């Protein structure tokens, strides 16, 4: 007695291999870092400083990990990514604010993550020290087909339940963690650097991190915006081993 | 050319309708609330007070929302719940610490959430003010079958990919948000009350909340432990409309 | 063998009765609250809404205490206030970032707080439920003289120690909590409302608060800026009893 | 028309050179770190591990800065220290909970900080990279006398105002930041390590810190308790350069 709705509501399942990261608003400037830092030494008598002085100060703050002056500002991003990426992202608590699309309040979209062709599929090494290698031709085929089959079946069953009048919050339990979701996140420059230090893999990092490729696809785009709006801060962040101050 | 492993690794898919909440450790006492609160008025000369005095003080603190004295202590829970519940849970940031099972570091277990028989399936009302009603016989059947089919297909494809040597972190993207996961969470009495105020539905609540039934199944068990270890605090929390101080 | 420096370095002690609050930068808009809130129901397809729709949504969010959409933005203030006010201020942790003038890194300024003429000096009632009444003529005189004498002596001894080459961080221990300090604070609209709910006294407040007059002198100025930049949010905050969402 | 109360209320000014740090309660164990960390790889099937395995795991977590497993536990300290130390302490926000003696709700005690004999009084170097040297005989004398004179005068004026019926919250503005205050602080092992990394000076530290001697007097005592209750964690913290994970 399996019930399928006569007319599928959203029939077309879409597969997607990229992460959308849009900078919605920002209030960020290297000068603000300096202004905040200098209150400790100049108190109630703000002055103007040269670009060189500012660069020197930011270098000192970053190197010696004086983090608080990097908190005066904010970046708001609008991100679309698979749920498993949202999950890793939202483990970041300090200095991070979130609002996300709700599977309780709306019918989700049939958009699912499929790894891009150059995504290495095979893991070598052990927990905490992974390396990845490209998949064989066969592995690529199997992964592609398995993902598409599971996603399609999940979507079909989701639609079946919705078609029968079952609540979205119950029906959505079949949707896979590869389903795309959209959220807003606001962070400050310091919490952004903390995020980047953990969610990017870099040879220049003092403390090596092994993020999943997919969250790095998000992080890399965020870092570009960070670099654009706070070039001095970003420079010294990279120079001092990507250790969040 | 669909590849299935000759011998399925974990063939038996399990369906589960309960949430496991275990109190792993706690350091919590009504007396500690009072001790911390009294430092503001007695400073460096601790004294002993009667049970009545303590009850009166806790009542005052809760009623007037003096929250900080409720932060000196901690509860650590070990919780097994579907991923969609973990997701809602981990949106709580302040005063909450988490460690969760990883789909990158281990092969997950084939345990999936199916609503218990008394779980209302039909949503009435609009966003922000929902009510739920029991499903019809047909809805119950459809939901049960749809969930099982989607879960089983997801697990099959997950196993297919693992059997081909594809990395866990790639294969897991097909697993639904109804898959069980396990995590440790540590909170303090204040952050616990904040959680309970949002994740339980109660007629006595000053600010109504409409949590999904499944996270309330977790919250209710946590509240029992809270009540056991901090009876006065819990009493006044309920008495003053379940508003976290 | 009391040593006073032959030429006092900063001889002129100043008395001050106001709090300086400057809005340095802000990224704040009622529309951003709505945009963030709506992601839960519209996902990845932003639309435009009327002012009325926005007002209705903000009213709903505030009334039912959906707080997270109010976190996407930031206000940075530069505040000069006596140390005892800074102390109360910096007890606010969540969503607050600080940098303050340092008594270790610089010689502080001889600026001290003296209550304005209309500041009530006499406390009536008991802990947690205070009221204040104006001082008598005599009380006004005594307070004025006592404050000035203590401040002047503290400054003299501070200068004495500095004149002898004693480190600032040692010498400053004699400076009273009425000494002015300057700090930057960055908060988001939600943490700002939380601050305002505790640091202003208002007949319309659902939960009464009894802040010290001096921190309310700061809070009132912050609230004006908040009102200017987020009028809808401020309106509903006041309307719903000044309970931070 | 200077008014002094005929009978001083608390005449005896006390000078103190130590910090009181009492461990009030703790829930802390190296095993809990391991248990929380292992959930990522073993999920819902806890097992027992040897001491060597645990030591190895903690070493790995600390070295690679996997910080979250160190958050499941808590230490509550009761600390008496001068206000300027409390001020530095309470700048720590994440994972820290406070309740402090209130100058609004009680009459403070006449206990003031005077540096111990071995406290170096002279600062050499520039902001961010200080060194300290012992004071000369003359400097010791001047400092001692200046502190005592300022403290005594502040106390006298405080008592004068209280004797006239002026509110505590007004009168206390003359009290110096060297006045002792008492507070409870609760932190978790991770936030404790973060505190220790910034508030102790150590040759073995990867990131050098230059805390004021007085807060290190507090931090050193806290570290002893930490070492006692979490010896493996403390060992690896020291071994890996005192960088909080």
Q: Which one of D44, D97, D101 has the shortest CB-CB distance to B71?
A: D97
Active site residue ranges of C: 199
Asked whether residue C4 carries a pLDDT value surpassing 70, the answer given is: no
pLDDT in tens, D163-182: 999 999 999 999 999 999 99
Q: Which residues of chain D are within 8 Å of residue C175 when distances are taken between CB atoms?
A: 176-177
More confident residue, B198 or B44: B198
Interchain proximity C174–D151, CB inside 8 Å: yes
Q: What is the pLDDT of residue A232?
A: 98
Question: Three-class SS of residue D89?
Answer: helix
Q: Which one of D86, D146, D167 has the shortest CB-CB distance to C161?
A: D146
Q: What is the pLDDT of residue A218?
A: 98
Q: Does C94 touch chain B (CB under 8 A)?
A: yes
Question: Three-class SS of residue A125?
Answer: strand
List strand residue ranges (DSSP E) for chain B, in order: 14-16, 20-27, 74-82, 96-100, 111-113, 122-126, 129-133, 180-187
Q: What is the pLDDT of residue D131?
A: 85
The tokens of A34 are what?
A: 């300096």
Instruction: Give mean pLDDT, residues B204-225.
Output: 96
Answer for the pair C49, C188: CB distance below 8 angstroms, yes or no.
Answer: no
Looking at 3.30.10.20, 3.30.110.40, 3.30.1360.170, 3.40.50.10790, the CATH number of the domain C14-239 comes to 3.30.1360.170
- d(Cα D198, Cα D212) in Å, to the nearest integer? 10
- d(Cα A120, Cα B88) in Å, to the nearest integer? 31
Task: For chain B, list the contacting chains (3+ Cβ pairs, <8 Å).
Answer: A, C, D
- Rounded to the nearest 5 degrees, what angle is found at the Cα of A21, between the Cα atoms of A20 and A24? 130
Task: For chain A, list the contacting chains (3+ Cβ pairs, <8 Å).
Answer: B, C, D
* C44: closest CA of chain D, how far (Å): 31
pLDDT in tens, D132-162: 999 999 999 999 999 999 999 999 999 999 9
Q: What is the pLDDT of residue A130?
A: 74
Q: Does C191 touch chain A (CB under 8 A)?
A: no
Give the H or E element holding residue C185: strand C180-187
Q: What is the pLDDT of residue D47?
A: 83
| Single pTM value for the model | 0.95
pLDDT in tens, A47-97: 889 999 999 999 999 999 999 999 999 999 999 999 999 999 999 999 999
Q: Which one of A123, A146, A173 has the shortest CB-CB distance to B178?
A: A173
Task: For chain C, list the contacting chains (3+ Cβ pairs, <8 Å).
Answer: A, B, D
Asked whether residue B2 carries a pLDDT value surpassing 60, the answer given is: no
Q: How confident is the model at residue C46 (pLDDT cuts 50, 70, 90)?
A: confident
Q: How confident is the model at residue A127 (pLDDT cuts 50, 70, 90)?
A: low
Q: Which one of B82, B143, B173 has the shortest CB-CB distance to A84?
A: B173
Q: Does B65 touch chain C (CB under 8 A)?
A: yes
Asked whether residue D4 carries a pLDDT value surpassing 90, the answer given is: no
Q: b/e map of A46-78 (b: 16 or more CB within 10 Å)?
A: eeebeeeebbebbbebbbbbbbbbbbbbbbbbb
Answer for the pair D101, D184: CB distance below 8 angstroms, yes or no.
Answer: no
Instruction: Return the residue of B nearest to C95 by Cα.
Output: B94
Q: How confident is the model at residue D20 (pLDDT cuts 50, 70, 90)?
A: very high
Interchain proximity C176–D171, CB inside 8 Å: no
Q: What is the pLDDT of residue A44?
A: 81
Answer for the pair B171, A114: CB distance below 8 angstroms, yes or no.
Answer: no
Percent of chain A with pLDDT over 90: 89
- Which of A145, A154, A161, A180 is the best substitution to test chain B (most B C-beta atoms within 10 A)? A154
Q: What is the pLDDT of residue A71?
A: 98
Active site residue ranges of D: 199
Q: What is the pLDDT of residue C162?
A: 97
Q: What is the pLDDT of residue D11?
A: 64
pLDDT in tens, B53-110: 999 999 999 999 999 999 999 999 999 999 999 999 999 999 999 999 999 999 999 9
Q: Which residues of chain D are within 8 Å of residue C149 when distances are taken between CB atoms?
A: 153, 157
* B142: closest CA of chain C, how far (Å): 26
Interchain proximity C142–D164, CB inside 8 Å: yes
Q: Which residues of chain D are within 8 Å of residue C160 when distances are taken between CB atoms?
A: 142, 146
The alpha carbon dihedral of C115, C120, C126, C127 has a sign of negative
Q: Which one of D119, D146, D178 has the shortest CB-CB distance to C160?
A: D146
Asked whether residue D10 carries a pLDDT value surpassing 60, the answer given is: no
* B207: closest CA of chain C, how far (Å): 6
Q: Does D124 touch chain C (CB under 8 A)?
A: no
Query: Long-range contacts: C138-145, Cβ < 8 Å, 24+?
Result: C138/D3, C138/D164, C139/D164, C139/D165, C139/D166, C141/D1, C142/D2, C142/D3, C142/D160, C142/D161, C142/D164, C142/D166, C143/C115, C143/D161, C143/D164, C143/D166, C143/D170, C143/D171, C144/C114, C145/D1, C145/D2
Interchain proximity D173–C84, CB inside 8 Å: yes
Instruction: Return the residue of D nearest to B97 by Cα.
Output: D71
Asked whether residue A119 carries a pLDDT value surpassing 60, the answer given is: yes
- d(Cα A186, Cα A75) in Å, to the nearest integer? 5
- d(Cα A159, Cα B143) in Å, to the nearest integer? 11
Q: Which residues of chain B are within 8 Å of residue A177 when distances are taken between CB atoms?
A: 83, 103, 172-173, 175-177
Percent of chain C with pLDDT over 90: 89
* Average pLDDT taken over every residue of chain C: 93
Asked whether residue B3 carries a pLDDT value surpassing 60, the answer given is: no
* A36: closest CA of chain C, how far (Å): 6
* Average pLDDT taken over every residue of chain D: 93
Residues 104-123 of A with CB under 8 A from B: 104-105, 113, 115, 119-123
Sequence ranges of the domains in chain C: 14-239
Q: What is the pLDDT of residue D13?
A: 94
Q: How confident is the model at residue A128 (pLDDT cuts 50, 70, 90)?
A: low
Query: Which of A182-191, B6-15, B104-113 has the least mean pLDDT?
Result: B6-15
Q: How confident is the model at residue A3 (pLDDT cuts 50, 70, 90)?
A: very low
Contacts of residue A228, defined as CB under 8 A and 6 or more positions apart, other chains included, come to none
């Amino acid at each position: 007695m399996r019930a399928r709705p006569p007319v599928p509501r959203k029939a077309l399942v879409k597969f997607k291999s990229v992460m959308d990261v849009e900078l919605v608003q920002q209030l960020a400037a290297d000068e603000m870092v300096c202004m905040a830092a200098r209150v400790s030494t100049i108190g109630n008598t703000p002055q103007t400083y040269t670009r060189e002085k500012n660069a020197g100060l930011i270098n000192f703050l970053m190197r010696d990990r004086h983090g608080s002056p990097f908190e005066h500002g904010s970046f708001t991003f609008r991100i679309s990514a698979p749920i498993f990426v949202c999950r890793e992202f939202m483990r970041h608590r300090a200095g991070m604010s979130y609002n996300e699309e709700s599977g309780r309040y709306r019918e989700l979209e049939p958009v699912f993550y499929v790894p891009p062709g150059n995504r290495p599929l095979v893991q070598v090494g052990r927990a905490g020290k992974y390396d990845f290698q490209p998949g064989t031709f066969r592995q690529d085929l199997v992964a592609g087909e398995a993902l598409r089959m599971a996603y399609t079946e999940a979507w079909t069953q989701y639609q079946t339940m919705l078609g029968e009048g079952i609540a979205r919050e119950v029906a959505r339990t079949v949707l896979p963690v590869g389903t795309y979701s959209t959220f807003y996140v606001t962070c400050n420059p310091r919490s952004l650097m903390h995020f980047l230090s953990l969610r990017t893999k870099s040879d220049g990092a003092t403390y090596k991190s092994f993020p999943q490729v997919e969250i790095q696809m998000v992080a890399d785009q965020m870092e570009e915006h960070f670099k654009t709006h706070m070039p001095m801060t970003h420079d010294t962040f990279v120079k001092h081993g990507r250790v969040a101050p």
